[in-house]
Amino acid sequence: MEKKILFAVDGTPRGFETISVLGGLLKDQQELQLVLFHCVQQLASLQPGDICALEEGF
Protein backbone atom coordinates (compact mmCIF):
# COMPACT_ATOMS: atom_id res chain seq x y z
CA MET A 1 0.00 0.00 0.00
CA GLU A 2 1.47 3.35 -1.06
CA LYS A 3 1.85 5.91 1.69
CA LYS A 4 2.15 9.68 1.25
CA ILE A 5 3.77 12.18 3.58
CA LEU A 6 2.89 15.84 3.11
CA PHE A 7 5.76 18.06 4.25
CA ALA A 8 5.48 21.85 4.33
CA VAL A 9 8.61 23.93 3.71
CA ASP A 10 8.97 27.69 3.89
CA GLY A 11 12.04 28.30 1.73
CA THR A 12 14.45 28.90 4.60
CA PRO A 13 17.85 27.19 4.66
CA ARG A 14 16.80 25.20 7.75
CA GLY A 15 13.65 24.02 5.97
CA PHE A 16 15.64 22.80 2.96
CA GLU A 17 18.17 21.12 5.24
CA THR A 18 15.36 19.33 7.08
CA ILE A 19 13.76 18.04 3.88
CA SER A 20 17.17 16.91 2.62
CA VAL A 21 17.74 14.86 5.78
CA LEU A 22 14.21 13.45 5.61
CA GLY A 23 14.70 12.51 1.96
CA GLY A 24 17.94 10.73 2.84
CA LEU A 25 16.24 8.75 5.58
CA LEU A 26 13.29 7.75 3.39
CA LYS A 27 14.96 7.29 -0.01
CA ASP A 28 14.87 3.48 0.11
CA GLN A 29 11.18 3.26 1.01
CA GLN A 30 9.63 1.91 -2.22
CA GLU A 31 5.99 2.52 -1.29
CA LEU A 32 6.40 6.02 0.09
CA GLN A 33 5.75 9.28 -1.70
CA LEU A 34 7.05 12.50 -0.16
CA VAL A 35 4.99 15.52 -1.22
CA LEU A 36 6.41 18.99 -0.64
CA PHE A 37 4.16 21.96 0.00
CA HIS A 38 6.02 25.24 -0.32
CA CYS A 39 4.49 27.85 1.98
CA VAL A 40 4.87 31.52 1.11
CA GLN A 41 4.12 34.62 3.09
CA GLN A 42 0.55 35.72 2.47
CA LEU A 43 0.41 38.56 -0.01
CA ALA A 44 -2.74 40.66 -0.38
CA SER A 45 -2.30 40.77 -4.16
CA LEU A 46 -2.43 36.97 -4.61
CA GLN A 47 -5.69 35.35 -5.58
CA PRO A 48 -6.60 31.68 -5.07
CA GLY A 49 -4.93 29.63 -7.82
CA ASP A 50 -2.28 32.26 -8.67
CA ILE A 51 0.59 30.14 -7.34
CA CYS A 52 -0.47 26.60 -8.27
CA ALA A 53 -3.36 24.20 -8.52
CA LEU A 54 -3.59 21.10 -6.35
CA GLU A 55 -3.68 17.75 -8.06
CA GLU A 56 -7.03 16.03 -7.97
CA GLY A 57 -7.14 13.20 -5.47
CA PHE A 58 -4.66 14.58 -2.99
Question: How do residues 11-41 score in pLDDT, each as one tens digit?
Answer: 788 888 988 998 899 889 989 988 888 887 6
In a domain, 53, yes or no: no
Q: Is residue 27 part of a domain?
A: yes
Query: pLDDT confidence of 53, banded at 50, 70, 90?
Result: low
| 3-class secondary structure, 3 | strand
The predicted structure's pLDDT at residue 21 = 92
The answer for residues whose C-beta is within 8 angstroms of residue 16's C-beta and 6 or more apart is 9
Dmax of the chain from CA atoms?
A: 41
Looking at the predicted structure, is the pLDDT value of residue 46 above 80?
Answer: no
Q: Between the CA atoms of 8, 14, 16 and 20, what dihedral angle is there, to the nearest 10 degrees?
A: -100
Question: 38: closest CA among 58, 24, 54, 57?
Answer: 54
In a domain? residue 25: yes
pLDDT value of residue 51: 65
Average pLDDT on 40-44 reads 65
**44, part of any domain:** no
Number of domains in the chain: 1
Structural domain for 10, as ranges: 3-38
From first CA to last CA, the distance across the chain in angstroms is 16
